Amino acid sequence: MNDSSLWSLFRLEALAEHGLDAYLQEIAQQCALIFNASGSSIFLEGDSPGRFEVRGKSGHQSTVPTGAEITVGNGVAGQVAATGSPRLLGLLNDEPELADLRSLSANKIKSSMVVPITEPQGDVIGVLNLSRGFSEPAFQYEELEQATALDTHVGLAVANAHLMESLRRNVFEARVAGEKLQAVLDAVGSAVIVFDENRQTIEMNAAAEAYISGEGRSWDESSGVTPVLSCAVAKVIEAEDPGSVRAHDQESDRSWVVQGVPVGSGGCVVTVLEVTEFERAQREADRLARLAEIGQMSATIAHEVRNPLTGIRSAAQMIRQDPEMGKEFLGIIEEEAVRLDKLCEGFLSMARPINLQRSNGNLGESVSRSVTLLQSTYDEKGVTLIAELGSCPNMNLDFDTVEQVVHNLLLNALQACEPGGTVRASVAGGALVVEDDGVGMDDEVVANMFTPFFTTKSNGTGLGMSNVRRIVEAHGGDIDVSSEPKRGTIIRVIFDRSQV
């Protein structure tokens, strides 16, 4: 046994090119050459504990069937695997205990060495069988000692092979996973960019690359990214707690939502979703809804204006017929003129945009002021008004318009209640809730209650709740109504979703 033969066990070309089994096959061949054996086989521990499966074979032992196994403790090879002690064997046909080896060799073996393969920690991970035929000299104890000395080297080579194979498999799986991830990212409609802890771009999908002109990979103005968008991305990745930022480019009329998610390594994953078409569609939908609302308002106003005009015309005719009745009918004319003026003012207020004058303040204090102003009105009707304000948050709102909303909601709730009823106003988590146990509303009334000039009251204008919705929407909020006839109504208002 020479050093060049020994070091040949550690050549990993076959492993790199063809995998672990090809490498083990080469080790079996090299071991046969080192010991002038006409046959060799290598059994390694498989997935089932206590079982060793053939993984490499050479010479006349190439007839060992694929999948052949050695069970720890059974037969000579199994005892070698169990004890870790090598065995030198003579004529196999003369030794009944070697039936397992005889069955594998098809009675062509004169002598054999069965050597355990141990890893550096001393655990048996396999068995090496070396054999010579009848025309060859039998193995000697000196050769068994050499084979035993080789055991550690073979074990180290196999252990290295296992590590290399595991690394090769991990690299392959990582590459496949990376390709799958890239395919998924490329299939995502939004741009995805991965930044490291130094805010340098390390990965991006095809949608992100489309924003970049030239061959650069930086996500800033120097690589052709729109300045507004580049600024929004920088704002997200530089924030201690990355969130969501909206960016709008006035020149191109394009809009994006930029969102960042931190990763454990200190980097950040940023997604850029263009919402230009969505916002344009939303604006168009709002415009059409506004036109439909104006059309409905116009029809309602025409109907509402006709009634007082009819009264004024009738009063004028009566005065013309009998001037002495002028004093009586002048009051009617004045009353109907005031009614027309209120209708016109309501229409104009609906047509005017709401310009919010925001300031920092406490929502609970606004509710408390409205409750105080309406308390006497509630007392006159015999309805209980309860305010549950608790710990109310400070918010940035237009509190003059907020108090209009609270006032309207409390008045509506009062008008829906009979004497002895109860109205409850509460603020929790930045949301205002007004609850009453009054007459309630059916689904049709709920669906139309915010429509301008829609009212179920004989003396109402139908503008109060419409104005409530306009104020809430101007703040960027929501209003939700839950009601049942004879069971009361619950109205929940969030004035600004971004502050809740």
pLDDT tens for each residue of 32-67 = 888 888 888 889 887 788 889 888 888 888 888 888
Bridge pairing between strands 422-428 and 384-388: parallel
The most confident of 118-132, 161-175, 412-426, by mean pLDDT: 412-426
Confidence (pLDDT) at 498: 75
Confidence (pLDDT) at 414: 92
Q: Inform me whether the pLDDT recorded for 194 exceeds 80.
A: yes
Indicate the pLDDT class of residue 94, thresholds 50, 70 and 90. very low
CA 148 – CA 248 distance, rounded (Å) = 76
Average pLDDT over residues 366-376: 89
Q: Inform me whether the pLDDT recorded for 120 exceeds 90.
A: no
Task: Please tell me which residue, 387 or 12, carries the higher pLDDT value.
Answer: 387
Which positions ≥6 away from 308 have C-beta within 8 Å? 336, 337, 339, 340, 343
Q: Inform me whether the pLDDT recorded for 193 exceeds 70.
A: yes
Confidence (pLDDT) at 435: 94
CA 193 – CA 396 distance, rounded (Å) = 34
Lowest mean pLDDT among 3-17, 297-311, 462-476: 3-17
Task: Please tell me which residue, 181 or 40, carries the higher pLDDT value.
Answer: 40
Average pLDDT over residues 138-160: 79
Measured between alpha carbons, how far apart are the two ends of the chain, in Å?
Answer: 80
Percentage of residues in the chain with pLDDT exceeding 70?
Answer: 84
Indicate the pLDDT class of residue 2, thresholds 50, 70 and 90. very low
Percentage of residues in the chain with pLDDT exceeding 90?
Answer: 9
Give me the CATH topology for the region 279-351.
Answer: Helix Hairpins (1.10.287)
Confidence (pLDDT) at 4: 46
Task: Please tell me which residue, 140 or 12, carries the higher pLDDT value.
Answer: 140
CA 396 – CA 264 distance, rounded (Å) = 34
Confidence (pLDDT) at 61: 83
On the question of a common fold for 279-351 and 359-499, the answer reads no
CA 325 – CA 311 distance, rounded (Å) = 15
CA 221 – CA 35 distance, rounded (Å) = 70
Confidence (pLDDT) at 422: 94
pLDDT tens for each residue of 342-351 = 777 766 666 6
User: How many Cα neighbours within 13 Å face the side chain of 291?
Assistant: 5
Q: Inform me whether the pLDDT recorded for 100 exceeds 80.
A: no
Q: Inform me whether the pLDDT recorded for 101 exceeds 60.
A: no
Indicate the pLDDT class of residue 11, thresholds 50, 70 and 90. low
Q: Inform me whether the pLDDT recorded for 93 exceeds 50.
A: no
Q: Which long-range contacts (CB under 8 A, 24 or more apart) does 198-201 make?
A: 199/237, 199/238, 199/268
Please report, for residues 53, 134, 171, 199, the alpha-carbon distance to residue 225 in angstroms, rounded to integers and kept in the order given. Answer: 59, 80, 34, 16
pLDDT tens for each residue of 385-413 = 999 987 777 888 888 889 989 988 999 89
Q: Domain 3-168 in CATH: superfamily? A: GAF domain (3.30.450.40)
CA-closest candidate to residue 134, choices 109, 114, 113, 112: 109
Please report, for residues 389, 469, 495, the alpha-carbon distance to residue 423 in angstroms, rounded to integers and kept in the order given. Answer: 14, 20, 20
Q: Inform me whether the pLDDT recorded for 430 exceeds 70.
A: yes
Q: Inform me whether the pLDDT recorded for 172 exceeds 70.
A: yes
Q: How many CB atoms lie within 10 A of CB 486?
A: 8
Task: Please tell me which residue, 1 or 161, carries the higher pLDDT value.
Answer: 161
Confidence (pLDDT) at 304: 64
φ, ψ (nearest 5 deg) of residue 460: -95, 155
Task: Please tell me which residue, 51 or 352, carries the higher pLDDT value.
Answer: 51
Give me the CATH topology for the region 359-499.
Answer: Heat Shock Protein 90 (3.30.565)
Mean pLDDT of the chain: 80
Neighbour-count burial of 196, counting CB atoms closer than 10 A to its CB (0-12 exposed, 13-18 middle, 19+ buried): middle
Neighbour-count burial of 160, counting CB atoms closer than 10 A to its CB (0-12 exposed, 13-18 middle, 19+ buried): middle
Interior/surface letters 392-419, b for 16+ CB within 10 angstroms, e for the rest? beebebbbebbbbbbbbbbebbbebbee
Confidence (pLDDT) at 3: 46
Lowest mean pLDDT among 56-70, 149-163, 292-306: 292-306
Lowest mean pLDDT among 136-145, 301-310, 425-434: 301-310
φ, ψ (nearest 5 deg) of residue 384: -85, 130
Confidence (pLDDT) at 212: 84
Tokens matching residue 5:
């033969």
Confidence (pLDDT) at 303: 63
Residue 43 backbone zone (phi > 0: left; psi -120 to 50: alpha; other: beta): beta
Evaluate whether 340 touches 400 at the Cβ level (below 8 Å): no
Task: Please tell me which residue, 304 or 481, carries the higher pLDDT value.
Answer: 481
CATH node for 189-274: 3.30.450.20
Confidence (pLDDT) at 481: 92
pTM, to two decimals: 0.41
Confidence (pLDDT) at 382: 94
Evaluate whether 27 touches 154 at the Cβ level (below 8 Å): yes
Average pLDDT over residues 297-312: 70
Name the residue ranges covered by the structural domains of the chain: 3-168, 189-274, 279-351, 359-499
Q: Inform me whether the pLDDT recorded for 95 exceeds 50.
A: no
CA-closest candidate to residue 389, choices 335, 349, 434, 345: 434
Q: Inform me whether the pLDDT recorded for 151 exceeds 60.
A: yes
Identify residue 266 by its one-letter amino acid code: G
Confidence (pLDDT) at 18: 58
